[in-house]
Each structure stands twice: as structure tokens, then as C-alpha cells.
Amino acid sequence: MNQTQNPNSSPAEQYITEWIKTFVEQPHPALGDMPPCPFARRARLQNKIRIVEVKPEEPDTRFLELCSEYDFNKIDVLMMVCDPTRWSWEQTFQLRVQMNEQLRDRDIVILEDHPDYKETVAGIPMSNGRYCILFAQRLSRMNRFSRQLKRTTDYYDHWSESELADVVTWRDPKFWKS
């Protein structure tokens, strides 16, 4: 994904790119004037985000295959996008759990977004609202950046314990010690 909109990108990629620019990268007062993802803008501008739309006819195994096709030392995040009717939000969560079990030894972590799951942080809805997304990232890098935010900002001061458990502490047992 380039910082300028690719005219050949799919409607899903265009929507997700716009969501990143207009929401994920934007400072929010409820988050201490920090964006929902403080590292998203830099990743987008450095062309380190990949958005791949998985078609309905492709098998679920395609998501694991995609995680093998990308070099997570060269990109920051792989966003695997599909129609939200492919799975319920509960099935999406279970898929995330299963994929994390299979990918943990490769230092890859999966997070999920489903429009039917109303995830909030500090009262702010975090979902893109339209697509199901599985985010694949280098686990060690994500944990390092989370700990850095905890040590150097008040970013996580605005999160409840359940919000932290849902997004951060389940993947990083050392978070509280940082």
C-alpha cells in the first residue's frame, strides 16, 4: 500500500487505506491525543503495510499461506481482509487463537477486527466497521513497541484492564514488568 491511493486497488483496499488515514493514524483526545495506532502512519508512509483481500472461494488455509509468503522483517503488518459474512465474530476470534498457536514459534502474532464485535478503547469504537481483518505482525516487534509506549507515554493510561487484556497482555506476559 503506497501513501497515495493506487487506482488499481480493490474497494476493500481503498476502504481500509482510508480508514487507516482518517482514523487509525489520527490523534484522539480520549487516548491522550495519541492515535489509536501510534506507529501506523510511519508504517504506511514507509510502504510497510500490505493489504490482501482473500476472496470467498479461497480456503481458510489461505490465511496461513499468506503469513508464509510475506517477510515480516521487511513489512510491519499484513492485513488479510475478507467479507464479514465469512465468519461470525466468535469464529474470527477462534481462528485468531488457532493461528496464533500455529504461528507463535515463527514470531508472528494475529489480531482480529470484525464489524460485529464492538471493540472499544477508552470508549472509542476501534473497528473498521465494514470488513473482517486478520492482522499479522512480528510478535517481538509488537511487544517491544507496546512496552516502549508504556514506558515513555501515557498511552495505555486510558485503557481499562479488560481492554489491555483483549489487545496487549494476552500476547505479552512481560508487559506489566516493563
Please give the backbone phi and psi of residue 132, each rounded to the nearest 5 degrees, phi first. -85, 130
Q: In the chain, what percentage of residues exceed pLDDT 90?
A: 90
* pTM of the predicted protein model: 0.93
Measured CA to CA, the distance from residue 59 to residue 53 in angstroms comes to: 13
| Whether the Cβ atoms of residue 81 and residue 116 lie closer than 8 Å to each other | no
The burial class, CB within 10 Å (0-12 / 13-18 / 19+), for 119 is middle
Q: 133-155 pLDDT, tens per residue?
A: 999 999 999 999 999 999 999 99
CA 82 to CA 17: how far, in whole Å?
15
